[in-house]
C-alpha cells in the first residue's frame, strides 16, 4: 500500500513539475519551449523510473553496492549493454544523413531519429545505472563470499561443454512460432495505422511514416522474441569457456558460469537448492523469474542454474552453504545434505 501511494505521489509530482515548466516558458520562443519541456520530461521520466524502483524494492532484495576505496569494479553487466548502445548509435547515424534529403524521406528519417534519440536518452542511463549496481554487487560478492570454489582448466572445459547442452527449463506460457508472427504483425500494423491516421501532412508522408514506425516495431519485437538458433549451444559453450572458472556464493546471490543470480529480487527469488548426483556432481538452484513479454503479458518461469561442486571442496562446504541459504531464504527448500 505504501509503495502504491509513494508511486502515485511521484507521478503527481512529475506531472506538476511538467505543468509548472509549461506555464513558466509560456510566451517564450517555440524552440525554447520545446527544449525546456524535453529536458524536464526526460528528467522527470528518469526520476520516476529510479524512484519507483527504489520504493518497490523490498529490503531483502537490495544489493550490496558499497565497496572499499580503490577497488576496481567488474564489468560483467555493463559489457552486455554495449551492443545495444552501438545499435542505437547505428540507427541514429543512418537516419541523420537521410534528414538532408528533401521530401517525405526527411520527415520519415526525422521521426525515426527522434524516437531512437529519445529512447536512447531514457534507456541508456537506466540500463547503465542498473548494470553498474549489479557490477558493484558482484564485486562485493567476490570480496566477501560465503563460499568460493575455483576449478581447474580441464574440469571447467568439460563442465562448460556439458552445461552448454542443458537448456534452461522454463515452465510457463509458450507461444508457437505462427502465433508469434501473427501477434508481431498485428501490433506493428496497429502502430503503423495509428501513426498514419494521427499525423498531419500529405498522404504519402503519413503512409511512409506509418510504414516506418511499423517496420521499426516489427524489427524490435522480432529481436526480442526470436527463438533460439541451432548454433546457440556452440555460442553458449564459447561464453562459458571464456567465463571466470570460479563460483562465489554470498549474501546477495551466486556468481556461477559467468552469470550473477540474486537470491531475492523484484522479478523473482530462489525456490529450492539441491545436490544432483551427476556426473559430475553439482548443485541445482531453481529460481522463479517474472519476465516481461513483448506481448504485454508477464510470464512466471522457473529457471534452473547448475553449479559444479569443486573436486577439492571441503567436507564442511555444503553444510555451511545450507545453513547460510536457510537463513537467507527461509521460504526456499534447501536440501544440500
SS (H, E, C) 258-327: CEEEECEECCEEEEEEEEECCCCCEEEEEEEEEECCCCCCCEEEEEEEEEECCCCCCCCHHHHHHHHHHH
Q: Which of 252, 259, 318 is nearest to 74 (CA)?
A: 259
Half-sphere exposure of 212 (CA within 13 A, CB side): 22
Confidence of residue 177 (pLDDT cuts 50, 70, 90): low
Determine if the pTM surpasses 0.85. Answer: no
Task: Please answer whether residues 271 and 333 qualify as being in contact, where contact means their C-beta atoms are separated by less than 8 angstroms.
Answer: yes
pLDDT in tens, 8-51: 878 888 888 888 888 888 878 888 888 888 888 888 888 888 88
Q: Which of 146, 63, 143 is nearest to 323 (CA)?
A: 146
- How is the chain split into domains, by residue range? 1-57, 146-167+240-335, 177-225
Query: Alpha helix (H) ranges present in 226-264?
Result: 232-242
At residue 278, φ and ψ (nearest 5 deg) are 90, -150
Amino acid 172: pLDDT: 39
At residue 141, φ and ψ (nearest 5 deg) are -65, -40
Half-sphere exposure of 122 (CA within 13 A, CB side): 17
Amino acid 167: pLDDT: 44
Q: First and final CA of the chain: distance in angstroms?
A: 40
Mean pLDDT of the residues in the chain: 78
Q: Which of 2, 330, 308 is nearest to 156 (CA)?
A: 308
Angle (nearest 5°) at CA 231 between 228 and 234? 115
User: Cβ–Cβ contacts within 10 Å for residue 63, how many?
Assistant: 19
Amino acid 254: pLDDT: 94
| Most trustworthy range by pLDDT among 16-25, 131-140, 228-237 | 131-140
Amino acid at each position: 500500500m505504501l509503495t502504491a501511494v509513494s508511486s502515485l505521489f511521484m507521478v503527481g509530482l512529475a506531472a506538476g513539475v511538467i505543468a509548472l515548466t509549461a506555464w513558466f516558458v509560456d510566451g517564450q520562443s517555440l524552440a525554447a519551449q520545446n527544449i525546456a519541456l524535453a529536458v524536464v520530461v526526460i528528467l522527470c521520466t528518469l526520476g520516476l523510473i529510479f524512484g519507483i524502483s527504489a520504493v518497490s524494492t523490498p529490503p531483502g532484495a537490495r544489493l550490496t553496492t558499497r565497496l572499499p576505496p580503490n577497488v576496481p569494479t567488474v564489468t560483467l553487466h555493463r559489457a552486455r549493454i554495449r551492443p545495444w548502445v552501438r545499435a542505437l548509435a547505428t540507427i541514429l547515424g543512418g537516419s541523420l544523413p537521410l534528414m538532408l534529403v528533401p521530401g517525405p524521406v526527411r520527415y520519415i528519417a526525422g521521426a525515426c531519429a527522434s524516437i531512437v534519440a529519445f529512447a536512447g536518452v531514457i534507456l541508456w542511463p537506466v540500463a547503465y545505472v542498473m548494470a553498474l549496481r549489479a557490477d558493484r554487487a558482484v564485486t562485493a560478492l567476490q570480496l566477501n563470499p560465503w563460499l568460493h570454489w575455483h576449478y581447474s582448466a580441464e574440469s571447467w572445459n568439460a563442465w562448460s561443454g556439458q552445461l552448454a547442452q542443458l537448456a534452461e527449463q522454463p515452465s510457463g506460457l509458450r507461444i508457437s512460432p505462427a502465433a508469434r508472427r501473427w501477434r508481431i504483425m498485428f501490433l506493428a500494423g496497429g502502430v503503423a495505422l495509428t501513426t498514419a491516421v494521427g499525423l498531419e501532412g500529405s498522404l504519402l508522408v503519413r503512409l511512409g511514416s506509418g510504414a516506418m514506425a511499423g517496420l521499426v516495431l516489427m524489427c524490435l519485437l522480432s529481436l526480442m522474441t526470436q527463438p533460439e538458433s541451432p548454433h546457440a549451444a556452440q555460442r553458449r559453450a564459447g561464453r562459458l569457456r571464456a567465463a571466470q572458472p570460479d563460483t562465489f556464493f554470498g549474501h546477495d546471490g551466486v556468481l556461477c558460469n559467468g552469470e550473477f543470480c540474486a537470491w531475492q529480487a523484484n522479478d523473482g527469488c530462489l525456490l529450492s537448492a539441491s545436490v544432483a548426483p551427476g556426473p559430475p556432481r553439482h548443485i541445482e538452484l531453481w529460481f522463479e523469474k517474472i519476465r516481461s513479454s513483448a506481448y504485454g503479458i508477464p510470464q512466471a518461469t522457473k529457471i534452473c542454474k547448475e553449479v559444479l561442486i569443486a573436486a577439492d571442496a571441503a567436507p564442511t562446504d555444503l553444510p555451511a552453504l545450507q545453513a547460510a541459504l536457510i537463513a537467507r531464504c527461509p521460504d526456499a527448500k534447501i536440501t544440500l545434505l
